[in-house]
Structure 1
């Protein structure tokens, strides 16, 4: 079943909406009865990381959880993987139903953007750094769809994973700068037992590439353990681990403060890495305590 061009429907306790105006009407009516609205935005291909976001969203028994499933074309560059991005709509619906989700929003591109969209969000200077330097326009497209989702659903809380840490920082910045009502809840990264951060793009990896990709999380662990030695020690330790896997082509390995400004001399910082393994681009990050005897868990 494709989400494009078909009306909404109900299956079990789950209602799927296609049209923004209809979903907006439903969530406003629910709010009028005293229910809280929680939003989990996704691009589908749901995995355990998404299910953890849903689990957190459903903790409040007085809330209704809305999961959006929408592969957003605005955040893909011309040479990126929009056409081949994993799509598993039926499996995603089954996962949502099993998780107790009440509402799914699965619009078509036309329903979300109309035929001639002209106004988008600009992500500012941070949107051109790190991921934005490699993927020009990515964060403009991401923030545009998130703003639309927040305006359609009007959630009390919206849940995002910390794996996409720059995305999380920019969304929080947008909410502050544009005086939006929603609160943004970051959820720690869910990982495979070997440490690899869960991602829909992991499905692209061969067995050999999957093994090589473990160097990303291993590098973050090494960097976090070196935090007492300061920023230089962190980057050195993480870089040495990445250098052991020649098939991992590092795009960036950077240490920033928690708002992604320059790294502090002491205190909390974020170690961020992006690399290609084969044709697949992966990102990860970890909280690091600089100048402190403690060591963070991976984010």
Structure 2
């Protein structure tokens, strides 16, 4: 096997737009679950709203690219309010079911032909990149070294995404060190005790849901910057991949989502390159090339189960942060 090609195809995912987008969305999931104890299985819906809000505002209404990002964020706030008002008083398992359903409703609304004039239904949206690329301060050319060699557009997407991720991480760190963050973590550990202290638990949960949803929408924007917005990308498996990233890095950690996202995409890319080659070389005689490519999802699922069993706090997590409210 060509290990040089495998290595090159793997390490490029360290700073890929997908890796950055997953990290952003997972920081939002960390706010939901890691800090507030909200079992949200609908983060893909927030990402879809961010991406579609960005694309539709530019294509249909002529907004500048930066205003499109604000529209995507605003859409996630509205969705969080609609989702949170009837569901945040539910038990954790029922909340998980409700959020999965809500995210699927969002995806199907974007996929239906009813709003085809705005969403282009199942074909998705493209051609909204001009404004963002025109704001690129990097001169035309190819820069970098080895596998990290990109043109000015690819670097601009990555640099913008990394800067956005840095701002989100800093904001999360500051909030979780503040009195607001201590109340939110208190709700995660014992909701009744916080309520007994006179705090409005529902209000704090709603604020955490909105904040994490906004971070998810920013992940959706970065996810859409280099390519197109297609409803098939925001299926429930996207949320489960985000959960894998969260549990891998550490649920109640600041940098856990970043570490988890990088490791997740490195592992997925490595397996996508190695397993088919092993099948072609006859090392996996019971699998075809296509079957070997799909097997990476099975291996990632097994790895997730092992993480939950043997290291539930993740790589950077602390077991003391794993006491969650039972209600």
Task: State the TM-score bracket (shorter-chain normalisation).
Answer: under 0.3
Q: Which has the higher contact order (CA 8 A, sep 6+)?
A: 2
Q: TM-score of the superposition, structure 1-length normalised?
A: 0.24
Higher strand share: 1
